[in-house]
Amino acid sequence: MEKGKISQDRIVTAATQLFYTQGYNQTSVSDIASEIGITKGNLHYHFRSKDELLEAVINHRLHYITDSLEQWDKEFPEPKARLKRFVKMVLNQESEIMRYGCPMGSLNVELGKCQDSLRNKARAMFDEFANWLEKVFKQMGHKDSKTLSKHLLSMAQGAALMSYVYADGKLLKRELKEIEKWIDSLAQK
Amino acid sequence: MEKGKISQDRIVTAATQLFYTQGYNQTSVSDIASEIGITKGNLHYHFRSKDELLEAVINHRLHYITDSLEQWDKEFPEPKARLKRFVKMVLNQESEIMRYGCPMGSLNVELGKCQDSLRNKARAMFDEFANWLEKVFKQMGHKDSKTLSKHLLSMAQGAALMSYVYADGKLLKRELKEIEKWIDSLAQK
DNA sequence: GACATTCTAGTACGATCGTCCTAGTATTGC
DNA sequence: GCAATACTAGGACGATCGTACTAGAATGTC
Whole-angstrom distance, CA of residue B120 vs CA of residue B188 = 33
Residue B58 neighbours by CB under 8 Å, 6+ apart: B107, B121, B122, B124, B125
Cα separation, A117 vs A112, whole angstroms: 9
- Say if residues B130 and A130 touch (Cβ distance below 8 Å): no
Chain-centre distance for alpha carbon A181:
23
Q: Does B103 touch chain A (CB under 8 A)?
A: no
Q: What is the pLDDT of residue A1?
A: 34
In contact, A111 and A118? CB cutoff 8 Å:
yes
Contact, A161 vs B152, CB < 8 A?
A: no
Q: Which of residues 33-52 of A touch strand C (CB under 7 A)?
A: 37-42, 44-46
pLDDT in tens, chain B (189 residues): 345 566 899 999 999 999 999 999 999 999 999 999 999 999 999 999 999 999 999 999 999 999 999 999 999 999 999 999 999 999 999 999 999 999 999 999 999 988 888 899 999 999 999 999 999 999 999 999 999 999 999 999 999 999 999 999 999 999 999 999 999 999 986
pLDDT digits (tens, 9 = 90+) for A29-83: 999 999 999 999 999 999 999 999 999 999 999 999 999 999 999 999 999 999 9
> From the CA of B112, how many Å to the nearest CA of chain A?
7
CB contact under 8 A, B174 and A109: no
Query: What per-residue confidence (pLDDT) applies to B4?
Result: 59
Cross-chain Cβ contact A25/B23 below 8 Å: yes
Distance, in Å, from the CA atom of B101 to the CA atom of B163, rounded to the nearest integer, reads 8
Residues of CATH 1.10.357.10 domain(s) within chain B? 51-185
- As separate numbers, helices (DSSP H) first and strands (DSSP E) second, chain A gives 10, 0
Radius of gyration, alpha carbons of chain B = 18
Q: From residue A20, give the alpha-carbon distance in Å to each of A23, A58, A111, A142.
A: 5, 11, 12, 35
Please tell me the distance from the alpha carbon of residue A102 to that of residue A127, in angstroms, as a whole number: 15
**A2: pLDDT confidence band, cut at 50, 70 and 90?**
very low
Do residues B179 and B116 touch, judged by C-beta distance below 8 A? no
CATH of B51-185 given 1.10.275.10, 3.40.50.970, 1.10.357.10, 3.40.605.10: 1.10.357.10
Nearest Cα to Cα of residue A159 among B34, B114, B156: B156
Alpha helices for chain B (secondary structure H): 4-22, 29-35, 40-46, 50-75, 79-92, 94-100, 103-112, 116-139, 145-165, 169-185
State the nearest Cα–Cα gap between A136 and chain B, in angstroms.
19
**pLDDT tens, position by position, A102-159:** 999 999 999 998 888 889 999 999 999 999 999 999 999 999 999 999 999 999 999 9
- Rounded to an integer, what distance in angstroms lies between the CA atom of residue A66 and that of residue A71? 9
Sort out which chain B residues have CB atoms less than 8 A from A106's CB and list them: 109, 113
Tell me the percentage of chain B whose pLDDT exceeds 70. 96
Say yes or no for a CB contact (<8 Å) between B113 and A22.
Answer: yes
The reported pLDDT for the residue numbered B2 is 47
What is residue A188's DSSP assignment? Answer: -
Structural contact between residues B107 and B16, judged by C-beta atoms closer than 8 angstroms: no
Residues of chain A with CATH 1.10.10.60: 1-48
Nucleotide C9, nearest residue via CA and C1': A39
Distance CA B130, CA A117 (A): 36
Residue A62 main-chain phi, psi, to 5 deg: -60, -45
| pLDDT score for B188 | 81
Residue B158 phi/psi, 5-degree rounding, is -60, -45
pLDDT at A7: 84
CATH T-level fold of A1-48 = Arc Repressor Mutant, subunit A (1.10.10)
According to the model, what pLDDT value does residue B43 have? Answer: 98
Q: What is the signed CA dihedral for A83, A88, A90, A93, rounded to 10 degrees?
A: -160
Residue-level pLDDT at A77: 97
